[in-house]
Chain A
Amino acid sequence: MNMPPASEWLINSSPHVRANDSVSRIMGRVLIALIPALGAAVWFFGWNALRLTLACTVTCVLAEWASRTLMKRDRGINDLSAAVTGVLLALNLPPQLPTWMAVLGSLVAIVIAKQLYGGIGYNLFNPALIGRTFLLVSFPVAMTTWMAPSVFPWADAITTATPLGIWKTALNATQHAPPDFFQQFSVSDLLTGNRPGCLGETCSLGLLLGAAYLLITRCITWHIPFSMLFTIALGATILYKMDPTQNLPPHYQLLTGGVLLGAFFMATDMVTTPVTRPGMILFGIGCGLITLVIRKWGGYPEGVSFSILIMNSLTPLINRLARSRVFGHAPQSKPA
């Protein structure tokens, strides 16, 4: 009998079979899911979309590789998480942002928000959102200068404001909703992405398509996005019913700003969100509430990024509180 030497056999703890999935595969699927939104960004914002996406992704991957080499971490960059951070950061930037700012934001995202915390798995905050928030507080003008969408524009187009920005400015200045707001931004524009805003947040249909792909491939579960969207929808409905002249109707709240991009792609980042199902729902509700509060009463017109970052910081606490009853234990069992 031809028996190979046993010293080449592998011994490991059970189990000996594994589901055919890996971190790089999950990250790869997230990248695939972002293609429709990215396509819409290129369609409406042209060269700028390609320029920023390329700048962020290349910087993130290089920064990841460099930090890991410098910190002597053995793991390579092939888990694709840096690429995901890069693309997500790019999709969260206004189209006309200078390239060097995008590079700076990417460096902050990877080096400070991720590798200094210990690399993948150890970061407390979503790196892409840290990068974006860093840019927002450092370069407030550049980060709030928006470009009007047109079909694959090669040259820089006219600058304008986002729907939420227009809404907030008008309310602050005149105490009234801006006239012609609903003519200026029709629901179909919000769905296709034909509106000013961050590169990736405008095309709601593209984002929903990507989200469906993530849900079908089980890269994300429904808990966080749906509880977040539901909270926003419910809160917006209540506000709208109370005073329709001062508040946006619920579908506008959901389709404007970064709600969809945030709910499906940023608030579902595995590392920085809770692990239990009840925790995920709490997380989503928190994100929704904080978003609404910032939009309604805060200084910024948009609050998705901040809401997710605030909830990120609460994730360890939620993980401690929202636990299921262990099999065979009484409901109120306390540790002995």
Chain B
Amino acid sequence: MNIISALFSNSGGIHPDDAKKTTAALPSVVAPIPPLLAVSLAQHLGAPSKTLVKKGDTVLRGQPIADSAGFVSARVHAPTSGKIVSVGLRMTASGRTAPVIEIESDGQDQPFTTEPPAGDWTTLPPRELIERIHQAGIIGMGGAGFPTQVKLSPPPGKTIQTLILNGAECEPFLTADHRLMVEQAEAIIAGIRVLQHIFKDARVRIAVEDNKPDALAALAQAADILTGDVQMVRLRTAYPQGAEKQLIYSITGREVPSGGLPMDVQTLVENVATVQAIGDAVIRGFPLIERVLTVTGPAITQPRNIRARIGTPFSDLIAFCGGPRGPIGRLICGGPLMGIAQSGLAGAVTKTTSGLLVLPPEREAPFSSMPCISCGRCVDACPIRLLPCTLSETSEAEQDTAAEDLKVMDCIECGCCAYVCPARRPLVQHMRRAKARVQILRKQREAQKKKQPV
């Protein structure tokens, strides 16, 4: 398979030190199954799954323990065999409380089903393939956690012409997708074949940043078995190259309209890990119960790429990597630019956990309350072409209508603005706050409108 370069270049963006050298060449290792697993029921976007088990039940590996609770929701499976010790609200890696099922492992890791799905999957209609994906509890593993079956079922009238495989992994430090592409290229390509069966006429673009030549080569070699319009795309290394809208623009030159979805520009983007999970689910009948993630950062003894079961507590992962090296200052779930700071060790691996970043304490707090000096660096860095400096000031002054006019709702919270800000202003937090306030404002307007006819 030949490799082409991306045709379009995004505005804005930053070039942080990618810090991937530490773990890029380390093969992923399988983490031991911890004695206690905490499986969140709100790993995906949408309604939290409704539990199918209760305290005291015994479950087997791959057994569904919670089912979709709506159209935009996802199934959850037991990551190993054992006993349910609690079902209840817990702090999760997302920084919010969510229903969590705690499973005490019995150490046997007995599977729920052993037989692969019967029949030839290539003869099945797309509807059934999507149902298998739904049954396997697959969600977008790049970070957003959007239930995949929903994404694969565009409403009538919407077509998918371009299928983009997102192997950009533009977040610094993280190498989980990178290792997956190198080690599991065939499995990823198998997933693409499934997607090609669902969207028969779609062209396929496999996009990888040019700082991962081995991943590009591995995928290019494995992709030779694919038929149809398939191409490898080499992306310029930049952040946020792997953000959905930016990636679509890089490859197709089309902008997803404000408030719209990729399907509005006839495009579907799937993360490489998700695609691998799709292949495993449809061809081999495996539910999504494990993923590859990177545990790294200056404050961890032995950085590693790890294949871990969903629900593995962060404390077990840190212990598996030799424990902390010196004091921990911050523990980040995900990458350094969009990850979530943990307020404790209560978190556990979810389907969207791409990494765990262990940072030492710093001399200076990351954010200050210094005023904006209007240098305009955030304006240059914003890939959406917003005015983060002005928006942070409207947020401080609580001018929500002004923020709305400045299109704050289009912000993708990529963090470029706060990364470059010399005044160290918490710009992303201002954006989130402004967005929340605009949403409240819109709700009030709706309520007002409903009142008026009376």
Contacts and interface: CB of A to CB of B under 8 A. Distances in A.
Are A and B close enough to touch in the complex, i.e. CB under 8 Å? yes
Interface of A: 1-4, 6, 8-19, 21-23, 25-26, 75, 79, 118-122, 221, 270-277, 280, 319, 323-329, 333, 335
27 contacts: A1-B319, A3-B323, A4-B324, A6-B331, A6-B344, A9-B344, A10-B330, A11-B342, A12-B341, A14-B337, A14-B415, A14-B428, A15-B336, A15-B338, A17-B337, A18-B421, A25-B422, A120-B370, A270-B374, A274-B376, A275-B379, A326-B386, A326-B410, A327-B258, A328-B257, A329-B258, A329-B407
B373 A277 contact: no
Given A122-B371, A275-B389, A328-B255, A15 B415 contact: yes
B263 interface: no
A17 B18 CA distance: 11
B154 to A, nearest CB: 19
A17 B336 contact: yes
A280 B419 contact: no
Q: Interface SS of chain B: helix, strand, loop or mixed?
A: loop
Interface of B: 11, 14, 16, 172, 245, 249, 255-260, 315, 318-319, 323-324, 327-332, 336-345, 357, 359, 361-362, 365-367, 370-376, 379-380, 383-387, 389-390, 404-405, 407, 410, 413, 415, 418-424, 426, 428-429, 432
Given A6-B345, A9-B343, A15-B338, 4 more contacts: A9-B331, A18-B366, A19-B16, A326-B410
A21 B422 contact: yes
A273 B389 CA distance: 13
Contacts of A21: 420, 422
A311 to B, nearest CB: 14
Contacts of B11: 324, 327
B295 to A, nearest CB: 14
Given A4-B327, A275-B376, A10 B366 contact: yes
A327 B383 contact: yes
Nearest to B255: A328
A16 B429 contact: no
A1 B345 CA distance: 13
Contacts of A120: 370-371, 373
A26 B390 contact: no
Contact of A276 (B255, B387, B415): B387
A22 B419 contact: no
Given A2-B323, A4-B328, A328-B255, A16 B422 contact: no
Contact of B428 (A13, A22, A122, A221): A13
The CB with the most chain B CB atoms within 10 A, among A1, A4, A15, A16, is that of A15
Contacts of B342: 6, 9, 11
Contacts of A328: 245, 255-260, 384, 410
Given A14-B428, A22-B424, A23-B370, A326 B384 contact: yes
Q: Interface SS of chain A: helix, strand, loop or mixed?
A: loop
Contact of A270 (B319, B376, B390, B429): B376
Given A1-B319, A270-B376, A14 B420 contact: no
Contacts of B376: 221, 270, 274-277, 280
A80 B26 CA distance: 45
Given A11-B342, A13-B429, A276 B420 contact: no
B274 to A, nearest CB: 22
A323 B257 contact: no
B426 A327 contact: no
Contacts of B14: 19
Nearest to B330: A10
B258 to A, nearest CB: 4
Contacts of A2: 323-324
A280 B379 CA distance: 12
Given A273-B374, A323-B387, A19 B420 contact: yes
A13 B426 contact: yes
Contacts of B386: 326
Contacts of A3: 315, 318, 323-324, 328, 345
A329 B344 CA distance: 40
Contacts of B384: 326-328
Contacts of B418: 13-15, 18
Nearest to A323: B387
Contacts of B257: 328-329
Nearest to B260: A328
Nearest to A268: B375
Contact of A19 (B339, B357, B362, B419): B419
Contacts of A10: 329-330, 341, 361-362, 365-366
A6 B343 contact: yes
Nearest to B173: A17
A14 B404 contact: no
Nearest to B431: A13
B385 A327 contact: yes
Contacts of A6: 331, 342-345
A276 B386 CA distance: 10
Closest A-B pairs by Cβ, 7 of them: A121-B371, A15-B415, A13-B429, A275-B376, A328-B258, A11-B341, A270-B375
B298 to A, nearest CB: 11
Nearest to B12: A327
Nearest to B378: A275
